């Protein structure tokens, strides 16, 4: 029985198969058999892409092992993004070359395209840069948030003290 895993097809093979079919040299199933294409739906997809004016790109191997991310500097992220953009948004290629995950490369490229280099800064765990730059409304909202947090803390502390008092009262009654 033939394997049902993802097959890789070169750009040249895709082009030959599409040209063969569009020239009327064979039916969908005959073209698939001749070029060893897994199903006719795959060929139909290529034909649709080709006739709509889009490029037929090589298919990369499926089921690639996902690499885990690693810590990177801002300069590395900029270099990785520029590599990916220069190579026609080749996220897989950039991920393999720089040993980072596909998702990281994809996210960095999106952020770079939206916000430029400032989008690549690591902002995790950072609070507001300076409270002096806030408007009066923002300051008030921040103050409300701080007071809510303090209120929850005091309510929790009060509840724990009541429990402790209750436990001590019950212990003294047993004695």
pLDDT one-digit tens code per residue, 12-29: 999 999 999 999 999 999
Closest CA to 70 of 61, 62, 60, 80: 80
The pLDDT, as a whole number, for residue 2 is 52
Exposed, middle or buried, 119 (CB in 10 Å: 0-12/13-18/19+)? middle
Residues of the chain with pLDDT > 70, as a percent, come to: 87
Model-level pTM? 0.42
The C-alpha atoms of residue 127 and residue 116 are separated, in whole angstroms, by 21
Quote the pLDDT of residue 4: 58
Distance CA 159, CA 6 (A): 59
| Number of Cα atoms under 13 Å in the Cβ half of residue 24 | 0
**Total residue count of the chain as it appears in this document:** 175
pLDDT at 1: 46
| pLDDT tens, residue by residue, 38-61 | 889 999 999 998 888 888 777 765
- Is pLDDT of 9 > 90? no
Exposure letters 79-113 (e unless 16+ CB within 10 A, then b) = ebbebbeeeeebbeebbeebebebebbbbbbebbe
Radius of gyration in angstroms for the set of CA atoms belonging to the chain, rounded to a whole number: 30
Percentage, residues of the chain above pLDDT 90: 46
* 138 vs 33, residue with greater confidence: 33
pLDDT interval class at 77 (50, 70, 90): very high
């Amino acid at each position: 029985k033939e394997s049902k895993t993802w097959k890789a097809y070169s750009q040249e093979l895709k082009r030959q198969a599409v040209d063969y079919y569009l020239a009327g040299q064979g039916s969908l199933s005959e073209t698939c058999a001749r070029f060893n294409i897994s199903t006719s739906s795959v060929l139909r997809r290529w034909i649709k892409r080709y006739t709509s004016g889009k490029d037929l790109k090589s298919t990369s191997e499926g089921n690639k092992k996902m690499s885990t991310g690693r810590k990177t500097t801002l300069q590395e992220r900029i270099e990785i993004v520029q590599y990916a953009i220069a190579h026609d948004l080749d996220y897989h290629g950039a991920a393999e070359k720089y040993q980072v995950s596909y998702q990281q490369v994809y996210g960095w490229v999106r952020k770079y395209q939206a916000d430029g280099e400032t989008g690549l800064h690591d902002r995790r765990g950072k609070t507001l840069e300076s409270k002096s730059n806030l408007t009066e409304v923002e300051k008030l909202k921040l103050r409300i948030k701080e007071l809510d947090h303090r209120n929850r803390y005091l309510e929790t502390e009060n509840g724990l003290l009541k429990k402790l008092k209750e436990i001590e009262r019950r212990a003294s009654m047993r004695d």
